[in-house]
Structure 1
Amino acid sequence: MKLDEVRREYLRDGLRRKVLKEDPIEQLEDWLVQANELELVDPTAMNLATVDKDGQPSQRIVLLKKLDQDGLVFFTNLNSNKAQDINNNSKVSVHFSWLQLERQIKIKGVASRLSNTEVLKYFISRPKDSQIAAWASNQSQPISSRQFLMAAFDKMKQKFADGEVPLPDFWGGYRIKPTSFEFWQGGGARLHDRFEYAPSEFGWDIKRLAP
């Protein structure tokens, strides 16, 4: 496979300043709705980048579960690597990649823990097997085999066979308060359209960036 020969032209749409909303949250909502209506696979999946105590960046996919003017919300095990990274450095970045639409969104921000009330409200809305899986998985820790994981799941399934599954004290969520946004739309001859939203005294400044 000759990797240097793998390429395609991005010719689906352009992006112009006049069509952008003044509020980046509203613009993100607009693109999310379009991605969902077109039935893209996992339109709410976002790549979360964190940095550990040694300055080593790490990335993984998480699912956006709430979006409003307060920020972007996702949930996770609080003992996971990502949570430990955020405890050391709350500055994060998320990236949405919708290549079928030739679109990307990059968001920088600061992550903070959600309240127990917010976490419980979401936890009880999850399917029961997902609730049980939260108890069964010691996220980010080494395990001997898939069989070990499934045995832990079956054990918890028996434990919580009757009644509701309680919220684990090691499971929670984070809200990312955005500090900047970049909306990217592919263009022909690699002349992509990029617009950056940066906070200003009166809201958000919007600038076109060179591709």
Structure 2
Amino acid sequence: MKDTLKHQGMRNKLADLLVAKGIKDVNVLEAVRAVPRHLFLDSSFEDHAYQDKAFPIDADQTISQPYTVAFQTELLQVKPNDAILEIGTGSGYQTAILLHLKAKVYTIERQQELFKKTKLFFNKMNYRPKKVIFGDGYKGLPENAPFDGIIVTAGAPEVPKALMSQLKVGGRLVIPVGVDDQIMTLYIRKSEKEFEKRELGHFRFVPLVENKN
């Protein structure tokens, strides 16, 4: 598949729709206009890639709705060279948005099939995350902590303590919390022991699965 002027036009329409839905961060919107979402989907979905909808990908996972991606990314307040930990690489679309914002992205995927496929895709597309890891997102990535931001792209029944501990003071954790229906939750680390918590509406995600072994 190629990226054409037609695709670019569809991305511009999608970004305009996200503005109408309340997304304000111009850098996030510019990333949506730039990243070719259709290349992250199975070719059978190509005609629908720029609708504001989630779609199935391999391993019973989904590529998140563009509004959700933009909403979570806006909450992170990414600055160039921020170290961002992404839990749930999935198709790699969210990773690409973060890379477009010039973040240093560390991303973890626990579905081996997806991990292999997306890592190959990153190489082919010349996307360069700092690390693409097959592992358990519940544990985070202590060897590269602390992070300026942590984004979780699956529904967590509770907030993993490891992720809270790996956030810099001043850092932001964006995580959908809940079992069947999730509340988008933002934690801002105010000090070693103090976190500010904000709840920002209902969303629906595939579950974040913990490796119990």
TM-score (norm 2): 0.26
- Bigger helix share: 2
- Bigger strand share: 1
TM-score (norm 1): 0.27
Higher RCO (CA-CA < 8 Å; seq separation 6+)? 1
